[in-house]
Amino acid sequence: MSRTLTVGLALLLITSTAAAEEPRGQSPAGTVPNSAPLTLAECYRLALTRSETLAIHQELIDEAEAHFTQALSGILPRLSFVSSDKRQDGSGSSSFTLPWVPERKFTVSQPLFAGFKEFAAMRGSKAERAQRHLEKAHAEHLLLMDVADAFYLVLELREDLGALAMIREALAVRLDDLTARETIGRSRPSEVVSAKAALRRIEAEDQQVRSQETVARHLLEFLTGVEPVDALADLEPALPTVEPESVYLAKAVAEPNVQATEQAARVAEAKVAVAGADRWPTVTADGNYYVQRRGAAKDVSWDAEMKVNVPIFQGGEVAGAVRAAESQAHQADWRVSAARRQAVRDVRDRHAQLTAAVAQAQALASALDAADESYRLDVDDYHRSLVNHLEVLQALHTLQDVRRDAIHAAYDAKRLAWRLRASVGETP
């Protein structure tokens, strides 16, 4: 049964320590009781509202918007009120030797030119904000993969339990028949014992699958906040439809993660411009309006000045900052290339896996019909003494394995379908 948890165990290990024991009869804090069957779309919607990862991404978006406000402030005037009181050892005989010199003034400073640094910073902040939005969208798609994996794992294990129940019932019928035949001497005791062993083996496997279903259900409850998850409704077809690979590849380059790396490259380019702006002169206009003044300038109510700062030599600081920013921009370009190639590879790999999974599920569905027919024929032949008990038991084991393999293959195909759809930006 280890193959049934190939998809789910990685997720279960992450969240196995997250569930805390709650008092009986009460819902855990932050959970929602379930009163109706949940679809995959509803589970995903609930998971979106509970994900701490998405909440962090939203905070990053707010942070990027704050960075834009900071960049915008670089081109806006600054107004302040300045109050100062100067005490000195003066005789007061002249305006220059006053013992107390108070000054109250309004100061306005307007940047006029700074090498277009502020505009580059604003451009970078816009790109950063877009990047954060796209990163959040990518996180939502990853969450969809997790929810789909957990959703279909629960359904798979529940259907597997149903298959085990059918097998257990068939073995119980076989055991009753063999017991009856043993009493009249038509069956050997070893046949009865072998049937009991097969039945106990199925009962033990049933307990294992029940444990796995409980853990998978806990994972889905953790993701959605619905507790307990009693009924699930799968609205998808029995097997997913596979579009041509070109349909998915056309959407791969528009995947949010790829677009996020492109926006990150624009942020890096803006940082190069910001660093290079320090080579340019800066021009600032300052003005003061005095509301209280003493001394020689007491009759001057306002003044204004224009400052021009021309950098001549800064010890290589600006050159180093520009080279570092350019290197970061080149790294961002390489990340864009890697993200695009990885997106195409992911789509091709998942499309190939999905195509194979659908073909396997279809083949196993046909094999299941054949195995069921074979078992029924062997049972008829057994009652006519044409085959022995071991042949019937072998046919039943074959039917059991094929039925369970068909269940696993069908749900593997559904999980892979949603992984492929999520990787190109589709949601339920």
Residue 196 has pLDDT above 50, yes or no: yes
- DSSP H or E run through 63: helix 52-72
Domain ranges of the chain: 2-16+34-77+115-280+317-423
Answer whether 294's CB lies under 8 Å from 98's CB.
yes
Answer whether 416's CB lies under 8 Å from 357's CB.
yes
User: How far are the Cα atoms of 30, 41, 184, 217, 256 from residue 244, in angstroms, in the given order?
Assistant: 43, 25, 63, 34, 21
Q: What is the pLDDT of residues 86-139, one digit of tens each?
A: 888 877 778 777 888 899 999 999 998 888 888 888 999 999 999 999 999 999
CA distance 378 to 394: 10
Q: Where are the beta strands (DSSP E) in 282-325?
A: 282-293, 302-309
Going by C-alpha positions, the residue among 66, 70, 104 that lies closest to residue 85 is: 104
pTM metric for this prediction:
0.77
Going by C-alpha positions, the residue among 225, 296, 298 that lies closest to residue 43 is: 225
Residue 2 has pLDDT above 60, yes or no: no
Asked if the bond preceding 228 is cis, omega within 30° of 0, the reply is yes
Residue where the block lists tokens 């279960």: 12
Superfamily of domain covering 2-16+34-77+115-280+317-423: Outer membrane efflux proteins (OEP) (1.20.1600.10)
DSSP-derived secondary structure letter, 321: H
CA distance 8 to 215: 10
Residue 170 has pLDDT above 90, yes or no: no
pLDDT confidence bin for 1, thresholds 50/70/90:
very low
User: Among the listed ranges 18-22, 148-152, 218-222, which one has the minimum average pLDDT value?
Assistant: 18-22
- Residue 84, beta-bridge partner list: 103
End-to-end CA distance of the chain: 29
